[in-house]
Structure 1
Amino acid sequence: MHVPPIPHLTAADPELARLVEGEAQRQHDKLRMIASENYVSEAVLEASGTVLTNKYSEGYAAKRYYEGQQFVDQIETLAIERAKSLFGVDHANVQPYSGSPANLAVYLAFLNPGDTVLGMSLPMGGHLTHGWSVSATGKWFNSVSYGVSRETGLIDFDEVRDLARRERPKVIFAGGTAIPRTIDFAAFAEIAHEVGAVLAADIAHIAGLIAGGAHPTPVGHADVITTTTHKTLRGPRGAMILSTEEHAKAIDRAVFPGLQGGPHNHTTAGIAVALREAAQPDFRDYAAQVVANAKALAAALVERGFDLISGGTDNHLILADLTSKGIGGKPAAKALDRAGIELNYNTVPYDTRKPFDPSGIRLGTPALTTRGLTEAQMPQVAVWMDEAVTAAVKEDDGTLDRIAGEVHDLLASYPMPGYKA
């Protein structure tokens, strides 16, 4: 059953209520290992579903275009102050609707159409909004991409430096969606300063790890920092932009009125709750456990013959090339889902297959760590993954169904926030 209960939705729209309840049970029964997903607390769920959704609030605290902002101003200010305190920054904007709009605000703040931006190539582990060709950021700006070493799977800083010196970008993005190793923000900052570029750190995947002390912070290195508020931070689906005081006005103007109208106040409230939770001592334990689980799982997968990009992980994320297993990422991901293990197919560096049928899978440990799993369960997870991939090659649905039952039995002992069995 969904928690908090949804009796009014059930009465008003039973069809939709059944779908919501079905999704809640699915999230409970699956070993959720999509690296960008997590479970929010019931407090975040409650804050995200209040009467705050009724209120329009264009502008910023004390400078709104609508009356009746006495409480909304306080809520947004609370979220801002908590973000500044948690990450140790001068300024925070908590209004971006999600990570892509937050990154677009960086472009609007510092670039004109046609200016050059340097970001990580999407197939190498970057994000669409770091200048990839199919994104507006790749269509409106002159995008140049860096990648990783073919030998090590690590970011090639010689390439980054050479490209920056030759192309003279106005903005350099550090971060991405499939980077399993620690990001050296100091190295990026050195290059950005040399060429006079703004360094934008996209920490969407690792914000919770940074808040919990499990990954080095870009603060003091990056001029501006963007992040989603879900993923490892365990907040609602929103975003923040953190910056030095020098860039505060440009960022705020870019978000509103540059890109957005009124913020989603109910989301802002959920962000405020998540930031308070992330400031508690037990969140540091959580962040450390996320990394410990990922390292334990990576080691167990390597033992079973999986080819991991860069050989392992330093954070929450694992990227595996399944070529040696005789299967592509897409059929493997579908088979694993049937086996009760939810992850996504993903391109790997220098992939020879197409993006919608790539060689790899991407997985992570944030959600299973929230459920309470530890290093002790990771070898069994690796066994299940190996058996499921082998079963997929053999088209052995019986084995997949057997694994799904075993996964279900394991997870019955680990409560899920937002669901009561």
Structure 2
Amino acid sequence: MHQPSLPHLQGQDPSVAGLVEAEARRQFEKIRLIASENYVSPAVLEATGSVLTNKYSEGYAGRRYYEGQQNVDPLEQLAIERARTLFGAEHANVQPYSGSPANLAVYATFLEPGDTVLGLSLPMGGHLTHGWTVSATGKWFNAVRYEVRRDTGRVDMDQVRELALKERPKLIWCGGTALPRTIDFPAFAEIARECGAVLAADIAHIAGLVAGGAHPSPVGHADVVTTTTHKTLRGPRGAMILTTDEHAKAVDRAVFPGLQGGPHNHTTAAIAVALAEAARPDFADYARAIVANAVALADALLERGYDLVSGGTDNHLILIDLTNKGVAGKPAARALDEAGIELNYNAVPFDPRKPFDPSGLRLGTAAITTRGLTPDLMPRVAEWFDEVVVAAGKGDTTVADRVAAEIRDLMAAYPMPGWAPLG
């Protein structure tokens, strides 16, 4: 039973209620290692499901196109002030619906169609919206892409500088979706200044680590910072843009009316709650614990002969190349899911395989850290992981049920925020 229960949903639409309940139980019973997922607090859940979803608030505080904003305006201002304070930014926009629209707003602020943008290649760990071919950002703009080094698996800063000076981009992206190492924001800022580009930092994955002091901050180095709010920051599925006062009005105009209509007020409320939680001293402990778990898990996987891109991790994320294990990423991910370990298959740098059938796996430790798992448990997680991957390589399906049962027993001892099984 969902705690609190869902009596209205169960009475009116038992099909949907059943699926919600099944999803809650799935999240409770599995070791969730998807790097872009987490568990939110009961307070964030309540704000997300509040009556604020009934209200339309096109515009900004004090400049709305609808009446009845007496509560929404101070709510949005509260979220803005909490974001500014937490990250030390001069200006924050909390209205973007998600990370991709937030990134599109950066383009709309600083570029015209056809302008040159420099970003990390998607197969190297970048994001679709950093100028990849199938994205609108790769079609509407002249996208130039840098890579990681073959020998280290780390961003090739020499290549970034060389391309920046040669191509003279108007915008440079740093950050990505599969980068297990610390982002050198000062080095990117120096290159951007040298070629006269705007520097945008996409910290969607590491925002919680930045807020908790477990990763350096881009604020003060990047002209604009984008982030989602639902990964390591442990908030709802939304996004924010942080920038300087110089660019504040242009960024706001790009979000509305440039790209979006009315903000999702229930999400804004939940973002405000999550930002307050992230400002507490115990969140810094949480951010450090995420990294400690990732390092411990990486070390345990290395001991079992796994090839980790860059040789390890500095943050919440681990990227594994399974080539030496004789199994591709997709069948391994599916076998692990059956066995109670949830992650995603992922391309690795210079991957010879196709994107929908890549060589790697991506995993992260934010969600299991929220549940309370600690570094001493990571060797056990690595052991289960290895058992399933080895079995998948052999086509053996007999291991999954046993491992899944053992994982259920383990996770039963670690509470899931906002839900508990009956009995």
TM-score class normalised by the smaller sequence: over 0.9
Corresponding position of 1:44:
44
Question: Which amino acid in structure 2 is aligned with residue 267 of structure 1?
Answer: T
Corresponding position of 1:321:
321
Corresponding position of 2:163:
163
User: Any idea what the Cα deviations from partners look like across 1:85-126, whole Å, max 9, x if unmatched?
Assistant: 000000000000000000000000000000000000000000
User: Any idea what the Cα deviations from partners look like across 1:303-324, whole Å, max 9, x if unmatched?
Assistant: 0000000000000000000000
Distance in 1, Cα, partners of 2:4 & 2:108:
39
Corresponding position of 1:395:
395
Corresponding position of 1:31:
31
Distance in 1, Cα, partners of 2:3 & 2:299:
36
Corresponding position of 2:102:
102
Distance in 1, Cα, partners of 2:335 & 2:387:
10
User: Given that residues 347 and 361 in structure 1 are in contact (C-alpha distance below 8 angstroms), is that contact kept between their aligned partners in structure 2?
Assistant: yes
Normalised by the length of structure 1, the TM-score is 1.00
**What displacement does 1:360 show?**
0.2
Where 2:398 maps in the other structure, the secondary structure is helix
Corresponding position of 1:300:
300
Corresponding position of 1:17:
17
Where 2:71 maps in the other structure, the secondary structure is helix
Distance in 1, Cα, partners of 2:86 & 2:192:
25
Where 1:231 maps in the other structure, the secondary structure is coil
Corresponding position of 1:380:
380
Corresponding position of 1:417:
417
5+ residue gaps, structure 2: none
Where 2:393 maps in the other structure, the secondary structure is helix
**What displacement does 1:4 show?**
3.0
Question: Which amino acid in structure 1 is aligned with residue 375 of structure 2?
Answer: E
Where do 1:14-413 residues align within 5 Å? 14-413=14-413
Distance in 1, Cα, partners of 2:373 & 2:260:
39
**What displacement does 1:394 show?**
1.7
Where 2:240 maps in the other structure, the secondary structure is strand
User: Any idea what the Cα deviations from partners look like across 1:210-266, whole Å, max 9, x if unmatched?
Assistant: 000000000110000000000000000000000010000010000000000000000
Question: Which amino acid in structure 1 is aligned with residue 95 of structure 2?
Answer: Q
User: Given that residues 3 and 42 in structure 1 are in contact (C-alpha distance below 8 angstroms), is that contact kept between their aligned partners in structure 2?
Assistant: no
Where 1:70 maps in the other structure, the secondary structure is coil
Where 1:295 maps in the other structure, the secondary structure is helix
Where 1:414 maps in the other structure, the secondary structure is coil
**What displacement does 1:3 show?**
2.9
Distance in 2, Cα, partners of 1:216 & 1:101:
25
Normalised by the length of structure 2, the TM-score is 0.99
Distance in 1, Cα, partners of 2:68 & 2:208:
33
Identity %, equivalent residues: 75
User: Given that residues 4 and 42 in structure 1 are in contact (C-alpha distance below 8 angstroms), is that contact kept between their aligned partners in structure 2?
Assistant: no
Say whether residues 1:5 and 2:5 are aligned partners: yes
Distance in 2, Cα, partners of 1:228 & 1:183:
17
**What displacement does 1:270 show?**
0.3
Question: Which amino acid in structure 1 is aligned with residue 267 of structure 2?
Answer: T
Where 2:232 maps in the other structure, the secondary structure is helix
Distance in 1, Cα, partners of 2:321 & 2:221:
32
Distance in 1, Cα, partners of 2:167 & 2:371:
46
User: Given that residues 353 and 359 in structure 1 are in contact (C-alpha distance below 8 angstroms), is that contact kept between their aligned partners in structure 2?
Assistant: yes
Where 1:291 maps in the other structure, the secondary structure is helix
User: Any idea what the Cα deviations from partners look like across 1:137-182, whole Å, max 9, x if unmatched?
Assistant: 0000000000100000000001000000010000000000000000
Question: Which amino acid in structure 2 is aligned with residue 302 of structure 1?
Answer: L
**What displacement does 1:401 show?**
1.1
Distance in 2, Cα, partners of 1:176 & 1:333:
21
**What displacement does 1:2 show?**
2.1
Distance in 2, Cα, partners of 1:12 & 1:44:
24
Question: Which amino acid in structure 2 is aligned with residue 396 of structure 1?
Answer: D
- Give the count of matched residue pairs: 421
5+ residue gaps, structure 1: none
The CA RMSD measured in Å over matched residues stands at 0.5
